[in-house]
Amino acid sequence: MKVQNGKITGGYEFKQFLGQPESGLVVQEAPEYLFVPLCSASLGIKPLVRAGDKVKSGQIVWQDNDSISSPVHSPVNGVVKSVQKMNYLDDEILSLKIESASSEGWESVPGSGSEWNKLGKDEIEKILYLSGTSALGAEGIPTRFRTAVISPEEVKHIIVHYTFAEVYNPDISLFLDNGGARKFTEGLAVLAKIMDQAEIHIAVGINSSTWFQVIENALPEDLSVEYHRVKPKYPQNHDSVLLKTILNLDLPTSYSGMNRGVVIIGIQDVCQVYDAVVTGKPLVDRIIALGGPGFKDHSHRQVKIGTTVAAIATNNLSFDDPEDLRFINNSVLTGSTLSPESPIGRNSEVLVALEEKRGQELMFFARPGFGKDSYSNTFAAKFLPFTRKVSTNLNGEVRACLSCGFCQNVCPGGILPNILFPYVERKMLDETVIQYGIFKCIDCNLCSYVCPSKIPVASHLKEGKKELLSEAFVSEKDFINAYNLIGLGEATDEESE
C-alpha cells in the first residue's frame, strides 16, 4: 500500500472547537411532517404526485429527464399535504410537504442485488439513477441519464475524500467500522465499473490516516486505489484544492472538479452507492453529524430526508430560546443559514448550531483568551489543549485594512486578497485585477475569517468576479480554453443544480 502526502498552499487548521460531533449514531423517528426539496422553483417542474395522494417510502415523487437531475423519493409512507415554495440554501425551491404515517421499509429499486457484478453498466447506472443516488457528491454522479454535466466515460479520476478540514466534521468510523469498510469498498467497485476510465483516489486527513489500512484490507482484489494523506487544513476539502494536491490540476474560481473530469464524493455517498445497488435502497435518509455548542448531544443522527432542523433540534438544544441560535448547513465557513423549518436535504452531512452572541464581554481584548481561536498567536488557546469557544459574533469592530498580511498567508489560491479587494471597493475593475489572479479565488472565505479588521474580503472578491463576468472582461469560453474545462457551454444551458 503506497500512501502519498498532499500539500496545500496556505490554509488554516481549525482545531479543538467546542461542540465536536461524537461517534454515536441515533436513528431518528420520522417527524409528523416532512418537507422534501424537489428542485429550484425557477425550474418549475411539477412533482408526479398531488396534494392528497398517498405515497410510499421510496416511491419516486419527482423526476425530470430534460434537466440535469436525479429523481426524488418520498422518504416515508404517508400522504402528500401540499406542494410549496420555500427558501432553502439561498434559493427558492419547490418542496413537498408530506404527512408521515410510518417510516418502515422502502420500495426496493428494481434490478438491485448482490450479483451486481453480472449486470451491465447501463443497468447499474439505471439503479443509481432510479434510487436517486446519482444526486450525491457535490455535482452528482455521472450516468447516462443526465445526472451530471459530463458522462461516465469522461471521468478520469474519482476522489473520495474525508479531509477533516472543516470546523465540524462527521465521524469516519460510522461508515468504516463494523463491516462498513466492505460496503464502502464494494461501493467503490460499483463506481469503478461504470466510470471505467477513472483512477480512484482516497484522500484522508492526517489524523485519520490509519483508516487506509482498514480500507486496503477490505478492497476487492481487482480494484486498485491510490491513497493520499492530506493536511487537515481548511479548505483542503474544496474541489480546487483537492485537484491541486492530489492530481496537480488547476481549477479556477467556482468551477467544479467535474469540469476537469474529476468526480469528488464523500465516504457516506459511496456507502449509499453500495446500499442502492446491493440492497436496493433508494436515497431516503442521511446520516447527519451534529456540531456546535448549540446542541446538547452531539451523536450522529440517521434522519429521513425532509426532516426539519426543528425536529432534529427538539430537546437537544443547550439554549432555551432558539432565537439565540443559528443553524448552518454543512460548513461554518461557506454553508447557508437554515431556518428551523428548513429540511435536511440529500447533500446535507453536518448540521451546526452556533450561538448568536450579541452579548458583550467586559474588556474582551485584554483577556488571556484560553478559549479563543486565532490565526495569530495572540491568545493563550494557541498553546494550550483547551477547547475553543465559538459564536457568530464578529469578535471586533470593522476597521480599515491594516495590511497585516494574514489574508494572503492563508489564501489557498496563492493570491493577495488585501491588494485585490480595494479594486472592487473602488470599482476599478479591469484586466489588472484579472492579471493579479482574482479568478484564482475559490470563495473559501478564509480571508474574511482571519481578518483583524473584520473586512468581508471574500465577499468583495466574489462581487468583483461577478462584475467582471457581467461586464464581459472575461467569459466562460476563456476559462474553458485556459483550463481545458469540460461539461460547459451549450449542453449545460438548462443546468439547474
Partner 1 sequence: MKNQNRVQALLHSMGEVKSLKKFRAIFETIEGIIFGNRVVTLRAPHIKDNIEIKRYMSFAIIGLMPATIAAVYFYGLYALAIIMTSYVAGGLVEVAFAILRDREIEEGFLVTGLIFALVLPPTLPLWAVAIGSIFGTFFGKEVFGGTGRNIFNPALVGRLFITIAFPQQMSAAWKEPFADVISSATPLGVFKVSGEMSSYMDLLLGMHAGSMGELFRLGIIVGGVFLMLSKVSNWRIPVSYLGTVFVLSLIGSPFINTIAPPIFSLLSGGLLFGAMFMATDPVTGPRTNEGKFIFGIGCGLMTLLIRSFSGYTEGVMFSIIFMNGLNPLIDHMVLKSKYRNNKL
Q: Which of residues 289-348 bind partner 1 (CB under 8 A)?
A: 326, 328, 331-337
Q: Residue 393 CB, nearest distance to partner 1 (Å)?
A: 6
Handedness of CA 154, 158, 163, 167 (dihedral sign): positive
Q: Which of partner 1, ligand SF4, none is residue 461 near (CB under 5 to 8 Å by kind)?
A: ligand SF4
The separation between CA 30 and the C-alpha centre of its own chain, rounded to angstroms, equals: 23
Q: Residue 252 CB, nearest distance to partner 1 (Å)?
A: 6
- What CA–CA distances, in Å, run from 402 to 52, 419, 443? 60, 12, 22
Stretch that binds partner 1, among 63-71, 237-245, 314-322, 401-409 (CB under 8 A): 401-409
Q: Is 401 in the site for ligand SF4 (CB under 6 A)?
A: yes
Name which position in 1, 51, 402, 482 contacts ligand SF4 (CB under 6 A).
402
Per-residue buried b or exposed e for 261-283, using 16+ beta carbons within 10 Å of the residue's own CB: bbbbbbbbbbbbbbbbbbebbbb
Name which position in 69, 103, 134, 391 contacts partner 1 (CB under 8 A).
391
Q: Is 153 helix (H, G, I), strand (E, B) or coil?
A: helix
Nearer to partner 1, 185 or 391 (CB): 391
User: Three cell numbers at 383?
Assistant: 498553546
Contacting partner 1 within 127-186 (CB under 8 A): 167
Question: Which residues, 6 or more positions from 92, have their beta carbon under 8 angstroms from its beta carbon?
Answer: 40, 41, 42, 85, 86
Q: Rg of the chain's alpha carbons, rounded to an integer? A: 23
Q: Is 478 in the site for partner 1 (CB under 8 A)?
A: yes
Name which position in 39, 230, 251, 390 contacts partner 1 (CB under 8 A).
390
Q: Are 399 and 456 in contact (CB under 8 A)?
A: no
Name which position in 413, 423, 424, 439 contacts ligand SF4 (CB under 6 A).
413
Contacting partner 1 within 234-253 (CB under 8 A): 252
Stretch that binds partner 1, among 61-69, 205-213, 264-272, 443-451 (CB under 8 A): 443-451
Name which position in 179, 315, 385, 400 contacts partner 1 (CB under 8 A).
400
Name which position in 200, 262, 444, 468 contacts ligand SF4 (CB under 6 A).
444
Name which position in 26, 214, 310, 404 contacts ligand SF4 (CB under 6 A).
404
Dist. CA 70–CA 62, nearest whole Å: 9
Stretch that binds ligand SF4, among 135-143, 365-373, 402-410, 476-484 (CB under 6 A): 402-410
Dist. CA 142–CA 393, nearest whole Å: 41
Q: Is 255 helix (H, G, I), strand (E, B) or coil?
A: coil
Q: Is 461 in the site for ligand SF4 (CB under 6 A)?
A: yes
Dist. CA 416–CA 380, nearest whole Å: 28
Q: Is 441 in the site for ligand SF4 (CB under 6 A)?
A: yes
Q: Are 257 and 139 in contact (CB under 8 A)?
A: yes
Q: Is 407 in the site for ligand SF4 (CB under 6 A)?
A: yes
Stretch that binds partner 1, among 44-52, 62-70, 447-455, 488-496 (CB under 8 A): 447-455
The full length of the chain comes to: 497
Dist. CA 347–CA 82, nearest whole Å: 23
Q: Is 404 in the site for partner 1 (CB under 8 A)?
A: yes
Q: Which of partner 1, ligand SF4, none is residue 366 near (CB under 5 to 8 Å by kind)?
A: partner 1
Q: Is 268 in the site for partner 1 (CB under 8 A)?
A: no
User: Three cell numbers at 253?
Assistant: 474560481
Cis peptide before 75 (omega within 30 of 0): no
Nearer to partner 1, 121 or 357 (CB): 357
Name which position in 452, 473, 478, 483 contacts ligand SF4 (CB under 6 A).
452
Q: Are 325 and 391 in contact (CB under 8 A)?
A: no
Q: Are 266 and 288 in contact (CB under 8 A)?
A: no
Number of residues that bind partner 1 (CB under 8 A): 73
* Binding residues vs ligand SF4 (CB under 6 A): 401-407, 410-413, 415, 417-418, 441-447, 450-453, 455, 457-458, 461
